[in-house]
Structure 1
């Protein structure tokens, strides 16, 4: 799979985005309806070994925001992770509105930030603590964009790795930041662990990010 660096990082810990060439049109969110079967359907043979009782969502399944998929991948050699993933919300914002406090390059300032909210449950046997949720977004050029690490102090969308530990049965609600180069668009969210995998994708309404209103301080009595 061809890789290239789309946005040069100005702060190594905070901002980096890698794009991977989408090798087929199946990543595009433009298809109508769902193909394959939603989470919970029977797959003839799992593409990776998973615990008994775990049914993987078939490759090529197209889902909508709010739908769940059970996926497996190899975070490292000889280790298999299995996750139940539900993309719960897609949000669009601007660098000026939400990233003005961060030091950005000109290329990063010209990107469009998207926030992808995901509910995650570990349904495998491997502890996945400290690893990033294995989801990409697909842009208008059919490229896969990696999530950009931020920090827990970025309240709008921390975009951090899974908490430690994150063993079997652990759950978390995470928000991931994706920077689409050249004011690009988010066409779909994609699970595609390697180039031979027929991706599982989510599409749906992309909402405008609205910062939460600050909580009012209680009035002092007397």
Structure 2
């Protein structure tokens, strides 16, 4: 698979200190682009852009309709093409590895805007991202299936005003304000976690939506809503946690 990983060199700052380095992994996915593959992640297809979603909320499969993937009995997947709002819940499935089907209960909690000066001062960015607009997307996820999903990447993308899909950035060191990490190392069925994902939209792009689109032919499930200014929390400073430990949730799983 063609890689579009932007390599970033570690540089020395004043007084011999080293600046933090931001690792951008497969940052921008264009309609004709390719995605970077890593580890044993084997996407069933490559996400592409085909215009803004127009389907209405609650586009759930009808009674007797076959789910788009083979999920455990009792799991009701949110229908492809559903257009949701921040705070809404969706049950989604994808194939992070051939033969492994993951099911997540996903809620996009908030969309937050910030600036490079405010949130990335002292971080080394590649030239093509020095005019990027940074956004933080906070989500709550639960393993709603019957497979272990520890360490998997949450397949959520930012969508800008040009209908470009942008993958979440990753870091080579801790970034407390918004860790932007994969799922916890152990994420068993029933486990829950909160996560924050960083998206750097090139050319001062505007965040329009968050999209779940694991394959090229998947009609995306999207979340949109008000984008609020990021306000640092007291726990951001010196925080070591990135996603919270998975915890069992009682109650029956349900779809949106």
TM-score by length of 2: 0.74
Which residue of the partner structure matches residue 190 of structure 1?
211
Q: Find the aligned partners of 1:23 and 1:38 in 2 and give their Cα distance.
A: 20
1:150 to 152, 165, 171: 171
Matches for 1:22-37 after TM superposition, within 5 Å: 22-27=48-53, 31=54, 35=56, 37=58
Offset at 1:195? 1.1
Q: Find the aligned partners of 1:137 and 1:199 in 2 and give their Cα distance.
A: 12
Call closer, same or farther: CA 1:45–1:209 in 2, change over 3 Å.
same
Which residue of the partner structure matches residue 36 of structure 2?
none
Q: Find the aligned partners of 1:104 and 1:169 in 2 and give their Cα distance.
A: 38
CA RMSD of the aligned region, Å? 2.5
Gaps of 5+ in 2: 10-20, 32-47, 237-256
- Contact kept, 8 Å, 2:83 with 2:223, in 1: the verdict is yes
Which residue of the partner structure matches residue 100 of structure 2?
79
Off by >4 Å, runs of 4+ in structure 1: 38-43
TM-score by length of 1: 0.85
Which residue of the partner structure matches residue 182 of structure 2?
161
Offset at 1:126? 1.5
Q: Find the aligned partners of 1:152 and 1:70 in 2 and give their Cα distance.
A: 31
Q: Find the aligned partners of 1:10 and 1:44 in 2 and give their Cα distance.
A: 47
Q: Find the aligned partners of 2:146 and 2:169 in 1 and give their Cα distance.
A: 27
Whether 2:146 is the aligned partner of 1:120: answer no
Residues matched between the structures, number: 208
- Contact kept, 8 Å, 1:138 with 1:190, in 2: the verdict is yes
- Contact kept, 8 Å, 2:59 with 2:81, in 1: the verdict is no
Matches for 1:14-29 after TM superposition, within 5 Å: 14-16=23-25, 17-21=27-31, 22-27=48-53
Offset at 1:14? 2.4
Q: Which structure shows the bigger proportion of residues in strand conformation?
A: 1
- Contact kept, 8 Å, 2:60 with 2:80, in 1: the verdict is no
Q: Find the aligned partners of 1:91 and 1:42 in 2 and give their Cα distance.
A: 37
Offset at 1:23? 3.5
2:8 to 7, 10, 14: 10
Gaps of 5+ in 1: 216-222
